[in-house]
Amino acid sequence: MPKKITKRVVDAAVPSDRDRFIWDRDVKGLGLKITPADAKIYVLQYRFKGRLRRYTIGRHGSPWTAEQARTEAVRLLALVAKGTDPADLKREVRSDITFTAFAEGTWQSTRTCIRSRVPPRSIANCSARTFCQL
């Protein structure tokens, strides 16, 4: 039976041998997933274009409290009602340029800039002072 997810309910939740869910009484689809390792994770389960989807809001603790997760679930359900899939938005954000790709691009342009300013034969003999002046 669904019950309102509160701090008391979250703290009282105990793990079992497999994932367990506690569903919220007030916000349809909001749930608390309790893993065997005692991780407590807020999730939102919804239907989008006929498919059942489960969106991870976040782990219980800083910054996610039961009330903040409830507010976020309402916001996400509003997106679903407008025809936007929150999971697709999350995927798009993650597919943006990564730090590694950014750093590699920056390193390549820096190497090109240094090579254009210092003759190749003297780059090995550069002191830190000379290098900083570039």
Paired tokens of 45: 């389960």
- Token pair of 30, please? 């909001």
pTM for this entry: 0.70
Q: What pLDDT score was predicted for residue 123? A: 53
pLDDT tens, position by position, 108-129: 666 565 555 555 555 555 555 6
> CA–CA separation, 134 vs 117, rounded Å?
7
Does the pLDDT value for residue 28 go beyond 80? yes
User: Stretch 72-91: mean pLDDT, rounded?
Assistant: 94
What are the pLDDT digits (tens) for 9-25?
A: 999 999 999 999 999 99
Q: With cut-offs at 50, 70 and 90, classify the pLDDT of residue 44.
A: very high
